Amino acid sequence: MKTIGLLGGMSWESTVHYYQIINEEVQKKLGGLHSAKIVLYSVEFAEIEQYQSSGQWEKCGEILGKAAKSLEAAGADFILICTNTIHKVAPQITSMIQIPIIHIADATADELEKCGIRRVGLLGTKYTMTQDFYKNRLADRGIEVLIPDAADVDVINTVIFEELCVGKINEASRKKFQSIIEKLKEAGAEGVILGCTELGLLIRQSDVSVPLFDTTVIHAKRAAQIAMEDCVQR
């Protein structure tokens, strides 16, 4: 079994779910007492968020690249960046290590293609929704991306950083998200990407009428699959 490197802590709330989902997938396939081989580097999120909010992305990449090197030195065979937004600096991190990064947008695009989705809504931080680093990755696969209007972008970003990242789940926020998702559906979205690893804590498939693609679940399951490629199922 390959060793998975998790670059987490952004926030720790979603990193917990990565660890859980990966181990559940391994146990489901291999049975018994099997669990995943994982190395975790959890960063100080306040420091990272301060740099990203002030536009100092290169500094984010420098810190996370050093963390990725630590994962590599600890024996990781590949790395997951356990957040969508920080994939903005994935090229910088990749340049500092010799092992691959499993890109969250690539794993999500694979799942969208499998489900025949060609036009999709994207929810996430304001950086993920409004900048091109994530949307272009999907567009390169022939997937059209729709984002909410500016007012809804602000609502989503506020809920992520002021509520979900600190463990607050509010029913009023869930209703706001349901309304935003309905607008995306009316605009032609065939599905909606939960493109922030905290969003699955708030909104579930049972809450909406359009297919949801939870990037935390998709990314974590892909990692487990890769890690077990050479394992024999029991």
Residue positions annotated with a catalytic role: 83, 196
Task: Answer yes or no: are the C-beta atoms of 70 and 39 closer than 8 Å.
Answer: no
Q: Which residues pair with 196 in a beta bridge?
A: none
Beta strands in 3-109 (DSSP E): 3-8, 37-42, 78-81
Instruction: Name every residue whose Cβ is closer than 8 Å to that of residue 168 and which is 6 or more positions away in sequence.
Output: 162
CA distance 191 to 55: 30
CA distance 234 to 220: 21
Nearest alpha-carbon partner for 166 in 20, 18, 14: 14
Burial category of 37 from C-beta neighbours within 10 Å (exposed 0-12, middle 13-18, buried 19 and up) = middle
Instruction: Name every residue whose Cβ is closer than 8 Å to that of residue 114 and which is 6 or more positions away in sequence.
Output: none
